[in-house]
A and B are shown apart, each in its own frame.
Chain A
Amino acid sequence: MTDQPIVRPPAELLGEGRAPPEVTTLIAEVRSDASLSFDPLAAPNYLVIPGVAFGALIMWRVDVSWTQAEQIQSWLMGAPPAGAGLPSTRLEALKRFFELDMEAGTPPKQFLDFVGIYLATGLSHAQYTLVLGMRHPFARAAYQNAFDTALSAVLASPTTAGWGAEIVDFLKLVLNQPSSREEFLTLSINVRDAGDPSATPPRPTVDWPPRIRRLV
C-alpha cells in the first residue's frame, strides 16, 4: 500500500542521547469520534497517500533522543520473536497487527490501514510519527475496544505472546513519553486559508476540497 520503507537516520546525526524515561503505563486512547472523510490532498506530503481517502488519520508522535531513535530503528528493522506466521521484520509485523488483527464494528471488520512510521530529524532530537488510516470512521470506544481485543488476543496466544510483549514495550515507548501525543486528523470544512484574508471559507458541497482540522 502506501507504507514507506524506514530509512535508518544518517549516522552522523545520531548524537549522544539521554536515557529513556521510565514508563509505567500504556495509553491507548484516541480522542475523536472520527466521523468525517479525510482529504488526502491536504495530507502532509510525506505521507504519500494520493488517491486514498480515509475517514480519519491517527497519528502518534513522540520526540526521542537520537539514542532512542537508533533503538527504535533497530527494533523496527529487526526480526520479531519466532512465532506463528510473523513476517521477517517487526515493521511488517506491526503493519499486520494493525491491519489484520484489529477489527471493529458489527460484525467485526478490519478497518485500519497502516500508513507508515515516519522519522523527522532535527539537530536536537528525532521525532517518530506512526500513522494509521481509518477507511470507515469508528467511534472512540469501538476503536479502543478493538485495540484492547487485538492486543489481548496476541498476548493470549502462546506463539505470539512474545511478540505481544514487544508491541506493549514499543507502544509504551511511543505513547508514554513526556513528549508523546496523539493526533486525530479528520475533514474540516470550517477552516479557511489564514494566509489569504480575502479567501472565502469553503462551503460544504459534495465535491468540495476539504481541509484538515487538528483536534489535539
Chain B
Amino acid sequence: MVRRPPPAPSTGRKPQTGLPPKKELRRGPRLGPHIEYLVRLSEGSLAELAAQESALRQKVLSSEPSRRDSLLAAAVPHPLTGPIRLLPAEDPQLLLDSEALTRLDPRARAKFNPKHPAVTVCVEFLGSISDLPALGMIPAVQSGDLFAGWVNLDQIKNLSEHKAVVRVEALRTFAPTGGGGENGSGSANGESSLSSGATGRGVRIAVIDLAFDFLHPALTRQGVGTDQVRALWLHDMAVKAPSVSPAGTMGRRFSADELQAALKWYTDQDPRTGLPLAISGHFGRLSEMQAAPDYRDLVARHGTAVSGIAAGNGRASDGGPTLVVPGVATEADLLFIAIGGHDETRFADSTEVLAGFQAAFEDPHVPCVALMANSDNLGPHDGSLEGERFIDDMLLLPGRAIVLTAGNFNRSITDPQAFHAVAQLDPESGPSLPLVLKFDVGAVSPDSAEIWFQPVAEGKATATVSIQLDGTSIGQPVEVREGEPVVLLKPNQNPDETAVTAQLHSDDQADACCLRLVFRPGPEKEIVASEWIINVAATGAVHGWLDRNNSGIGRWVGPTAQAGADLTTLGSPSSATRPLCVGSIKEREGPVSQSSGRGPLRTSARNSRKPDLVAVGENITAPRGVPHARLQHMPQHSMTYQTFCPGGTSYAAPQVAGACALLFELFGPAATWADIRQGILQATAPGAAMGLSDHNGWNSACGFGRFGLTAMLSPSIPSVPDVWLPKAPGDTGREPFVAWTFWDSPALTLQDSAGNQLDPAAVAAGQATPTKLRVRLANRGPSSSSDVIVTTWWAPLGAMHPLPQPGVQRGAWMATGFAVNGQTSNLQRVAEISPDTEFDLVFDWMPPQNNDASGVPHILLAAAHCESDPYDPNDTLCAQNNVCALCVAVADDQMSARFNILGSDDTDGLIIWQDHPDARLRIENLPITALPWRDAEMFQASGQRSRPLFGFSNAASDMAIELSATLEHPKAIEQITDVLGADRLVLEGGLATIEGGQRLTLPRLRIAEGAPLTIIVAAVTQARGAIHLLHLSGGRRVGGSTVRFRPGPN
C-alpha cells in the first residue's frame, strides 16, 4: 500500500425523505432565515434598500481597489437584496418575460408574474421540476431534491405551504476569491506532467469563472494549417438566453463552431466578416463592464489564468509550439462557463453557479472535472448549505469530480479584518466569553452576521444581544428566541438611523441554530459606530461569521475574535463533502498562505475534513487573457503570460483540477469522486513548514498536505510491506482499483477435491462442485509482510457493502462453510510473505445451497490484514488492494438475474447494464418505496410531507404504493423517478417495472441503512453475455455483481 487517506466521507443523506440526515423528529421552519428576511422586506422598503445597495455596490466596484492587497476578498459587497430582481420581465440577463413564460408553460398554469419582484431561491422539493411553475417557481436547475430558480416574493409563503416543499431559502451570492494572498518568493507551478505522457486527453475540464480569453494560444490546439479552439463550448451565464428559449433558461451557449469562427476571424489578417457572435457576446460584455481598473483587470485575467494552470498547453503564440509554462492536463477538452454580470448587483449568484455545474456534467459518457474559484464566507461551514448539498448531489454518478478553492478569507490574529470569531462554551465551566461585533465609522454598506451554535438542551434556543453606542449601553440586553425576528435597534434610536434586526432559526440540515443579525444603515448614512455583545445558550463551539461588506470597519473584536483567527475560515461552498477543497501555500516547501481558508468544519458530525490539500498558489505564472484586444482584433500582445501576485487559492486549485483530469485519463470513466479523491490525496506529502497534523496526517491549514504531481504520476511503489489480492486480471495493485466491475479476482480460485481449478460459472450452474477455496496472496512491498491474517467470507449476490469485519456480524457477509484443517474457520495466519513473492492459502469450502440442494448465487471475499498494511472494513473494496471478491453466479432461467443489496448510510444508487450494445433490460417488481416518486400532487393530496424509506417499519404507509401509472417517455421517467436510460415504467400494486436500453441508472434509491432490497433484472432481447449491477453509496463504488448467461444449445 501507499499512504492511504481515510475513507471518503459519507454525507448520511437519503433522497426524498424530507428529513435531515439521521434526524426523524425535529423540523425547523420551512423558510430559511435569508428568504424570510427578504419576504418581510418586500412588505416594506425593498425598493429603497435595493437602490441603496445598488448605488453602494457600483461605488465599491469603481472605487479604490482595496484597503490591503486583497482586492476582492474585501471589496465586493454581498447585497442583502442581491438575490432579488425587482422587475424580472425586463431583466437584461434573465429570460423571465411573458413570452418566455408561455414557452415554458403553454397552458398558462405558471403562477409567476414577471412584473412583480422575484427572488432566486433553492427549494428542497419532493415533486418534479414540471410541478414547480404551477406552484409559483420558475426552475432553472435541479439536482436530486434541490431545485434552484425564481419565485415572486409575494408567492414565497404559498410555495412553502405546499406539502411537497421541505424548505425554501434564498440563494447566496458567491464572490471571486482571486487575490488575497501575500507576496511570496520562489518558483511557481512546480511540477510538469509533460514527461509522463499523461495529458488529460478524452477528459473534460469545466472551468466556472468570470471570463475566458478562449483565443489565447495556450487554450487552442495547433492544427494542420490553422489552430483549433480547445473549448467544446463557452456558456456565458451573463448573456441573455436566445429569445426562443423557455423561461428560466440560463445564459447563452457559444458552440465550438462559433468559437472556431471567432478564432478564424481573429487570425485573419483582414477579416471581411462582421464580429462573430462569440466575440461580440462574451468579449463585448466584458468591454461594457463599469468598474475600477484593478477589478476589470482581474475579470479579464482570472478565468484565463485558472484555465491555463489547469489545462493550458504552454503555447505563447498562434501557430507556434513554444512552451512557456504548460498547465497540467495539456490536452483535456475545455468547457468554459462564465458567471456574473460583474458590474451589477446580481453578481454571480448561485443559480448561475449551480447551473454551471449542471452544464459541466450534462454529458454522462465523458468524465469531467469541474473547477470553481468563487466562494462566500457566511454559512453553516459544515457542508449543509443548499448550494453545497446541491453540488454534493451532482457527484452521485461516476465520471465526475469537483475541485473548489478554500477561499481567501482567513485572517491572522493580528489582522483587524476579523471575519470570524469563536467561543468554546461548556455550561459546567462557568460564564463564557461573548462574541463581540464592532462597527467603526465608515461602514456604509448593509451587512449581516451569522452566529451558529448548538443549543444547550432540547427546546427553544435563546440568545441575548447587548448594544453599545459610543461606549454607552443602550437599554437592557435583548433576548432573541426562535421564531419571529426582533428589532434590536430602531432608526430613531441612533443618529445614523441604522436599523438592526435579529432572528434565531433552527436549521435541520446543519443540526444547529443560527442567529442572524442584519445591519441596515439609513439612506445616505453609515451603520452607526457600535458594539454588539452576543451571548447564546449553547454547548460546544459558537461560531460567528461576518460578511465582508464593510471589511475592516465591521469586524469581530476581543478574545473570541482572536480565537477565530486561523480557524474555520473556509468559504462556501468549499465545505461541501464530496468536492476537493484546495488551499494555498506560498512555495513548494513553504508555509500556508496567510489568507488561505482554514478548517476544520464547524462540526465533525460527517467525518469530513476540509481543506483536503494545498498546492502552491503564489507567484504562479499563467496565460494572460486579453479579451478586449481580441474584441478589437488587435495583434497578439507580446506578453502572453504573467505571474500572478498576489496569489491565492484560485491559482492553487487549478493544478489539482488538472491532476484530476489526468487521473480520469488513467482510471477511465468508471472513476468516482471518491476514487479521484483517493488518487489525489495519496499524492500529497506533509511539508516541514505545514505544522502539526493529527493521526490521520491532516491539519486545519494544509489538509492532508501539499499536492505532488510527480508522485501522482509515478507508478506507485510501496515503501512498506504491501499485501496484495488482485481484483481483476488487469489489476496492478495500485490503489484505488478503478473499473466498472471488481468482483472477478484471479486471487480466488475454486477447486475440487483433487485441487483442479473450477470455472465459477460452471460452479454456479451446478456443473461442478468446489470443496476448496484457494487464496493467492502477493507482497508488492520492498520488505516482508509478517503475521498476515487472511479471512474469507461469502454473501448473497450483490450484497457486498458494507465489507465484513472479523469478530463482528456486519452486512450480509457470512463466515459459514469455510474450514481449516477440518475445523470450522474462515481465518488463517501467514507468518511471513517475502517481497515480490506469492503465497497460497487453501480453505475448505462448502458453497451455500438452497433447500433443494441447488446452488445459491453468491460472492466470495478474502481480506488480508497485517499491522503495516491494515484492512479497513469501513473503507470500500476498491480503495484497498488487500481485499478482493469473486462472483459465482449464472442466470437461473436464462433470462433474468436476481441481486441483493443492503441500504448504506448514504444515498444508494445502482447502475445496471448488459454487455451487448443492442440489449434491452427490465427491472421487475421493484418496490416503489425504494424509488423517488416526484409527484407534488401526491404529497398535497395525502397531507404528508415525507415518505418512509424502504426498509422502515412504516414503509407500508408510503402513499406511492397506492398509485397506478404508466410512463413511456425517458424524460418523464427521469423527472418522476430520477431513473436514467428507461423508456417505459409501469407502476402497479406498489411495484415498478422499468424497461430501457442496455444501461439503466438509478442514482437515488430510497433504502434505509441495512435494509435488504432485491433487484430482479431481466434481459428483454439479448440474453447473452452477462448482466452487471454496480452498487453506489454516496457516489462511491461499493459493491455489485455479475450474472452470466449460460451459452445456449446453439
Contacts and interface: CB of A to CB of B under 8 A. Distances in A.
B631 interface: yes
A158 B270 contact: yes
B624 interface: yes
Contact of B290 (A1, A107, A108, A154): A1
A23 to B, nearest CB: 26
A141 to B, nearest CB: 17
A52 to B, nearest CB: 5
B296 interface: yes
Contacts of A156: 634-635
B293 A159 contact: no
Interface in B437-477: none
Contacts of A1: 62, 290-291
B277 to A, nearest CB: 12
B62 A52 contact: yes
Given A85-B275, A85-B283, A100 B296 contact: yes
B635 A99 contact: no
Given A109-B297, A110-B296, A113-B292, A96 B633 contact: no
Interface in A5-40: none
B64 A83 contact: no
- Chain A CB count within 10 A is highest, among B271, B284, B628, B632, for B632
Contacts of B279: 84-85
Nearest to B629: A153
A158 B271 contact: yes
A175 interface: no
B642 interface: yes
A157 interface: yes
B632 A101 contact: yes
A53 interface: yes
Interface in B619-644: 624, 628-629, 631-635, 637, 639, 642-643
B63 interface: yes
A111 interface: yes
A125 interface: no
A135 B629 contact: no
Best-buried of A51, A111, A159 by chain B (most CB within 10 Å): A159
A106 B624 CA distance: 12
Interface string B36-76: 00000000000000000000000100111100000000000
Given A1-B62, A2-B62, A84 B632 contact: yes
- Which range contains the number of B residues in contact with the other chain? 35 or more
Contacts of B637: 108, 153
A107 B623 CA distance: 11
B195 interface: no
Nearest to B641: A107
B293 A86 contact: no
B414 interface: no
| Residue from A87, A112, A157 with most neighbouring chain B CB atoms (10 Å) | A157
A30 to B, nearest CB: 17
A154 B643 CA distance: 25
Contact of B643 (A51, A107, A111): A107
A101 B293 CA distance: 11
A66 to B, nearest CB: 32
A50 to B, nearest CB: 9
A85 B280 contact: yes
Nearest to B61: A1
B71 to A, nearest CB: 11
B689 to A, nearest CB: 28
Interface string A94-118: 0010011100000111111100000
Contact of A51 (B59, B290, B628, B631): B59
A84 B297 CA distance: 20
A154 B632 contact: yes
A160 interface: yes
Highest count of chain B CB atoms <10 Å: which of A53, A84, A108, A157 = A84
A53 B59 CA distance: 11
Interface string B942-956: 000000000000000
A52 B64 contact: yes
B635 A157 contact: yes
B287 interface: yes
A99 B293 contact: yes
A84 B293 contact: no
Contacts of A96: 287, 628
Contact of B635 (A111, A112, A153): A153
Contact of A110 (B290, B293, B632): B293
* Residue among B269, B300, B634 facing the most chain A CB atoms (10 A cut-off): B634
A135 B292 CA distance: 8
Given A85-B275, A96-B628, A135-B293, A153 B639 contact: no
5 contacts: A51-B59, A85-B633, A113-B292, A157-B635, A158-B633
Given A85-B279, A107-B643, A110-B294, 12 more contacts: A1-B291, A2-B62, A52-B62, A83-B632, A83-B633, A84-B275, A84-B631, A84-B633, A85-B633, A101-B634, A135-B64, A153-B634
Top 7 A-B residue pairs of the complex, sorted by shortest distance between their CB atoms: A107-B642, A85-B631, A100-B628, A159-B633, A84-B633, A110-B293, A153-B634
